[in-house]
Amino acid sequence: MPSCDSSAVDGTISETRLWEGGWMFHNLAIILCAIFTLIAFIIAGILIIGHATHYSRPSEQRYILRILFMIPIYSLTSFLCVAFYKKTVIFQLIGNCYEPFTIASFFALLCNYIVPDLHDQKEYFRHIKPVNWVWPVTWFQKFTGGQNGIWRQPRSGLTWFNVIWIGVFHYCFIRVVMTVIAVVAESTNVYCETSISPVFAHFWVLLIESIAVSIAMYCLIQFYIQIKGDIAQHKPFLKIVCIKLVIFLSFWQSTIIDLLTSSGLVKGSDKIALQDWNNALPNLLICMEMATFAVLHLWGFPWRHYVINMQKDGNIRERIQEYHGGRLGTAAIMDAMNPWDLCKAIARGLRWLFVGRKQRMLDQSYQLAANRGSQEHHEYHHLPETV
């Protein structure tokens, strides 16, 4: 088995100043990360407190709070990865595990915008006609039999919903498993972050994670395209832009830098060591981006929409609703931090994949799809002739 050149991950950073009398790259990265992390914390904190203290719709706001937590978590873990670079693997464990739950929380939020109850969500999707898959699946369809091939569009709206559900929630399971494997492999010296050779675990972890996150984001976009008209009042486009850009940049820019350094296309120098390329640079970019996205979230996930309306009757002002966030929003924070609903969603997806999928044809949604197809066929063949 080839040996791993671990010099880049053993803590070797450049001690050469970037300019005469200036800072070393690593020290400059720490200062900039601290500044942008503080900015992100302040802005995200204001938004989180606003939702927590005006917790009037827990079925929606618990997912919004989970999405908003992404900003301080990403910022803090990135700062710690730079400041304590010898412990990067430990800090990355937190950030890597939280990313899929952000995607899953946004998917659950979109579902709750339709109807908050899973039973009603199933009924809603039973009666829809799924739009065809977007690119690149449409490209695959051309070579695999179109709507009769493996990449066909499901006839049943409920089956389509379950496929999307699996595509999103599977990433939660896979990312956590891959992170644990990476930590174990690192501790046994078979991970080798500086190599993309398939003899090391790093190659397979990176490959599986890249495929899983691509599937999850694809399903999320497909889901948005299907329901965007029915939830237009919630301005879903801005929300999905916030999520997509954060996930895309945080994952893929780190992956690209990782590939460039692992393949030898980018090499360390006397001013910027390979450790700085692999660790400091991508985490500095994440800190900068989180500060920017914290501002964007002010418009994407405003808390003022959840302020309880007040009805005035003479000199008496009566609340028509009540907040459920508890004192200073602590109950809301605790509710959002409880992952039990996401665990049940993952279990439901796995149950459908291995059990329910085999019986899907028995659901009434297939009869509804057949009736809808017959009606469309009848209408097509009875169109009036035109001159």
Q: Residue 14: inside a domain, yes or no?
A: no
> Which pLDDT tens digit goes with each residue over 147-181?
777 888 888 899 999 999 999 998 888 988 888 88
- The total number of residues written for the chain in this structure: 387
pLDDT of residue 378: 47
Residue 6 in this model has a pLDDT that exceeds 60: no
Q: Which of 29-43, 256-270, 313-327 has the lowest mean pLDDT?
A: 313-327
Q: The domain spanning residue 175 has which CATH number?
A: 1.20.1070
> Which pLDDT tens digit goes with each residue over 283-305?
999 999 999 999 999 999 999 98
pLDDT of residue 110: 94
The residue with greater pLDDT, 353 or 386, is 353
Q: Residue 292: inside a domain, yes or no?
A: yes
Q: Residue 2: inside a domain, yes or no?
A: no
pLDDT of residue 213: 87
Q: Residue 166: inside a domain, yes or no?
A: yes
- Domain range spanning residue 248? 23-307+321-377
pLDDT of residue 337: 92
pLDDT band at 9 (very low <50, low <70, confident <90, very high): very low
Q: Residue 279: inside a domain, yes or no?
A: yes
> Which pLDDT tens digit goes with each residue over 116-153?
899 999 999 998 888 888 888 888 888 787 777 788 88
Q: Residue 10: inside a domain, yes or no?
A: no
The residue with greater pLDDT, 216 or 373, is 216
pTM to 2 decimal places: 0.85
Which runs of consecutive H residues, i.e. helices, occur in the chain? 25-53, 58-83, 88-114, 118-126, 137-141, 157-187, 201-227, 236-248, 254-262, 274-275, 281-300, 330-337, 340-354, 364-381
DSSP annotation of 249 reads I
Q: Residue 247: inside a domain, yes or no?
A: yes
Contact 216, 103 (CB under 8 A): yes
Alpha carbon distances (Å) from 277 to 26, 65, 82, 107? 10, 33, 11, 34
Contact 28, 282 (CB under 8 A): no
Q: How far apart, in whole angstroms, are the C-alpha atoms of residue 82 and residue 287?
A: 10
Please tell me the total count of domains within the chain.
1
pLDDT band at 370 (very low <50, low <70, confident <90, very high): confident
Contact 60, 112 (CB under 8 A): yes
Q: Residue 199: inside a domain, yes or no?
A: yes
pLDDT band at 92 (very low <50, low <70, confident <90, very high): confident
Least Cα distance to 99 among 229, 203, 255, 312 occurs for 255
Span 27-36, average pLDDT: 92
Find the radius of gyration of the CA atoms of the chain: 24
